[in-house]
Amino acid sequence: MAFLLSAVALYLLSITQAVVAKPCIAFDSTWNLYAFGLDGKDYNASSQAAWTSSAQSRLLLFTPANFSNAGTPAADITTTGRPPFDGANTTCYLAQYFNAIYVINGDVANPNSVYIYNVATPGWSMQQTTPGGFSFANFGAILDHDTNVFSLRPLTQIPDALSSGEMYFLDMGDLITANSTAISWTDVGPSPYGASYDPVMAIANNHIHFLDVPSVPAGSADIFVIHFSWYQPFTQAYPLVNGESGTIPNTQGQVASFFQESNTVQQEFAFIPQDSSNTYVINVMTNDTQQLAGPTTKDPLATYFAGVTSLVQLSSSGAVSFLPYTQGDDAGNSAATWTPVAALAAAVPASTSSASSSATASASAGSAKSSGTATAGSSSSTPQAAGAGINGASSSHHISNALAGFFAIAALVCLL
C-alpha cells in the first residue's frame, strides 16, 4: 500500500511538471532554427530551406503507410547541462555577435540564472545573476544587439510593488560560457508609464519601442534610446506603406525583431496582436508598416522569433510554423502565407492535443514578453490550432494520459 501511495504521489508530481513546462524557439547566427524543450528534448531544424522538405507539412496523421514520407526530421541535440525548461515563461534570445543563445526563466530551481547555449561548441552553461528585486513570473525584455545588454521591465502582476514600473539592465558582455561570478541586474529607474502599463517591447536600431502605451495613438510607439538611457519626448507614428488604410491597433500582443545578415542592428520588428488577426512589420528606418497575413494558429499564448527571412511561431500546443519574409519586398511579403515547419513535426510526431488545454495551463502560470520570443498576457481566449501539432511540454495529451495512469493506480489501491 505504501509503495502504491508513493507511486501516486510521484505520478501527480510528473503531471504538474508536464503541465507547466515551456518550450522556446531561437535562431543561431547562421539562421538555423532551434526548438528547445519540445517533449523534454532540443532540436536543430537547420536552415529555412529544410523546414518544408518534410512531406505534407504534417497535416496528415502519422500511419505506418505515410510515416516514411515524413521527410528528414530535425536533429535531436539534447545534451547535458541544459536547462530543464520547466519554467512557465521561458524565453530565448540570440546574441548575434557571439553566436550564443541565452535562456531566461528556464529553470525553476535556479530562477535567477541565465543559461547560455554556445552554438560553436556546442554546449550549455549556467550563468548566475544577482536578483534585481523582481520576479521572473511576468516581465518584458529585449536583448540589445550592439551592447549585449538585457533591458527588462516587470509586468504589473508581480506582487513586489517596488519593482512595478521599474526598468532593469543586465550586461552579458561577451559571454558565450558562464563564468563563476554572478552578474547583477541594475535598476536604472522608473519608466514614465507607471505600474498600470504591461509593456509590449521591441528592439530595433538600438532603441526599445513600446507599443500599446496609454494615451499614445494607435499606430504609434514610444521610444527608449538604450545608449543614452533616455526616453524620446515624442511618439513616432508608423503608418501602413503605400497609403494603405488601417493602422497598428493599440492592444496587447507579441513582438519579434528581424535580424540583419550583415550582423548590424535590427531595422524591423513584427507585432502580432493577441487576436492574431494580422502580422504587422514595422520598419524604424523608413517609419512605416507592412500589414501581412496573421498566423493560421490563432493563439494568444504563442511565442515568436524572427531571423532574417522568416518569422516563426511556436504555439502553446507545440506547433511550429513560419511566415517567409524579405525586407523591402512588399508585394512578395503581402502574398506570403504561414507554413508548418515540417522538419520539427517529423522529429516530434503530431498529436491530437488541443491548443486551448495547453493555453489554459500556460495562462494560469503567468506570462513573459520579449523581442526574441514572446507570449501574451493571461487571456480567456480560446486559440484555434491549425497546421503541425507537435507535442509541446504542456500539451493536453500529457494530462489525459496522466489521468488515465492515475486512475489505474487508484483502482489498484482500492483493491488492496
Q: What is the pLDDT along the chain (416 residues), one digit of tens a residue?
A: 444 434 433 333 333 333 456 899 999 999 999 999 998 999 999 999 999 864 444 333 333 333 333 458 999 999 999 999 998 789 999 999 999 999 999 999 998 999 999 999 999 999 999 986 776 766 788 999 999 998 877 654 333 322 457 888 999 999 999 999 999 998 888 888 877 788 899 999 999 999 999 999 999 999 999 888 889 999 999 999 977 888 999 999 999 999 999 999 999 999 999 999 999 999 999 999 999 999 999 999 999 999 999 999 999 999 999 999 999 999 999 999 999 999 999 998 645 333 333 333 333 334 455 444 333 333 333 333 333 333 333 333 333 344 444 444 444 444 45
C-alpha cell at 160: 513586489
DSSP conformation class of 243: G
Backbone angles phi, psi at 341, to 5 degrees: -85, 95
pTM for this entry: 0.79
Q: In sequence order, which residues have a C-beta less than 8 Å from that of residue 194 and are 6 or more positions away? A: 165
| Rounded CA separation 384/19 (Å) | 19
CA dihedral 399, 404, 409, 415 (to 10 degrees): 150
Backbone angles phi, psi at 187, to 5 degrees: -80, 115
- Which is it for strands 113-118 and 100-104: parallel, antiparallel or unpaired? antiparallel
Q: Residue 21 to residues 80, 89, 268, 384: CA-CA distances in angstroms?
A: 18, 8, 30, 21
What is the helix (H) or strand (E) element at residue 287, kind and residue range? none
Domains of the chain by start residue, with CATH = 22-393 (2.120.10.80)
Residue entry with cell 504563442:
302
- Which is it for strands 183-184 and 123-130: parallel, antiparallel or unpaired? parallel
Question: Burial, 84: exposed, middle or buried (Cβ in 10 Å; 0-12, 13-18, 19+)?
Answer: middle
